[in-house]
Amino acid sequence: MCPSHFDRPGPGSQKGLTLIELMVAMVVGLVLMTGVIQILMGSKDGMRWQEELARIQENGRFALHLLRQEVREAGYSGCNPVVTNLLNPAGVGYTPTLFELNAPATGWEFGGTASGDTYSLASTNPVGVGVSSWDDAAGSDLDASLQDLVVPGTDVVVVKRAAALAGVTASGNTPANANTINLTSASGIAKGTILMISDCSGADVFQNRSNASANNVTRGASNNNPGPGNVNPGANQFSHRYQADAEIYTVAVTTFYVGVGAGNEPTLYRIDYNSGSAGTPVAIVQGIENLQVLYGLDLSGDEVPERYVTADGIGANTDQVVAVKVAMLMRSLAAVDPTNPTSQTFNLLGTDVVTPADGRARRLLSSTIKLRNRGEL
């Protein structure tokens, strides 16, 4: 009996797959899956790169904003720029870089990071790095209060100014030879606070030796800690007599440097010396790997900087600094390309900084900042 035509396989029917067909299908599927995974991984890497780049830019903008704000106000002393410094240069912890108010913006330069030098970021560990590795305008070492805090290869910048009004009123008639400024009420100013009394004839800086409950502030010559204390009032007078219109300011002395923060990340720090000695280091922004600083000098008296020098190149011209250039090397907190790490070289104000091959994203930020209380730009 002949088979019915219903038993014959039609042209579109499929009874099964051969082993070869199955293997081909599996290979095609694997190829497609590999492509999809690569796309997803690439998208994830791209997102991580964008996130880290956005974090770098945000942190960098904040750091530059803070530095601009502080440097612009450096040198403020009321309505007269002439300041007489009555702090004791032989006192505990005194260094001109920190406490000479006529040098409104100074700092320390790390040896080997001047213009034309190349510095490799081999280590960010500040512990054990000698203070002699840095020099200020007078060739003096980094202040002892910053030892084991500053990352090697980075500069330190110090800005000084009259800050907030102390909220007290002088009762008037303070002769030049006085060691006490009488007030109309209790000062509320802590003992040891560095103060400035100022009017349009000039200004004087001293360290308060009265208690906060006293109806006066005094520049007694006591050399007790904290801070350098004052020169002997009997031999060193105020620059002039002060009347009731004199204003009393607190003095802000702020140091910015790169240290090591949480997670062993290089971090921008600040320390205030408003009480004559180092306050607690305050972490500001993570990811700042290197800081280089140049100072613009007005050498001709035209209130415009003729040249920019490192801190150790300022010499005796500390009162002629009218602008500051800062350059910061920012790095991501995580590696964004760990499979293909490469070393990079960045030029920070003439210094070539060579980074390790760690797969991190990096960006260079720089700014020229005018001291509003010193000249033009």
Neighbours of 345 (CB within 10 A): 10
The residues facing 309 across adjacent strands are 295
Lowest-pLDDT range, 44-53, 154-163, 358-367?
44-53
Q: State the residue for tokens 């103060």.
A: 195
Q: State the residue for tokens 């910048």.
A: 157
Residue 306 has a pLDDT of 93
Residue partners of 363: CB distance under 8 A and separation at least 6: 53, 56, 57, 60, 329, 330
d(CA 287, CA 53): 11
pLDDT tens digit sequence for 328-340: 999 998 888 777 7
- Higher per-residue pLDDT: 222 or 306: 306
Spatial contact of 348 and 51, defined as CB atoms under 8 Å apart: no
Residue 9 has a pLDDT of 55
H runs (alpha helix) in the chain: 19-73, 96-99
Residue 42 has a pLDDT of 61
What is the rounded end-to-end Cα distance, in angstroms, of the chain?
111
**Which residue from 289, 292, 255, 296 is spatially nearest to 272, judged by alpha carbons?**
255
Confidence of residue 47 (pLDDT cuts 50, 70, 90): low
d(CA 95, CA 136): 10
Q: Which amino acid is at 319?
A: D
Residue 223 has a pLDDT of 60
DSSP character for 210? Answer: S
Q: What's the chain's average pLDDT?
A: 88
d(CA 291, CA 40): 37
- Higher per-residue pLDDT: 289 or 164: 289
Q: State the residue for tokens 């008037």.
A: 172
d(CA 204, CA 199): 10
SS3 label, residue 161:
strand
Residue 225: pLDDT over 80 = no
Residue 325: pLDDT over 60 = yes
d(CA 127, CA 125): 6
Lowest-pLDDT range, 15-19, 40-44, 53-57, 236-240?
40-44
Spatial contact of 72 and 370, defined as CB atoms under 8 Å apart: yes
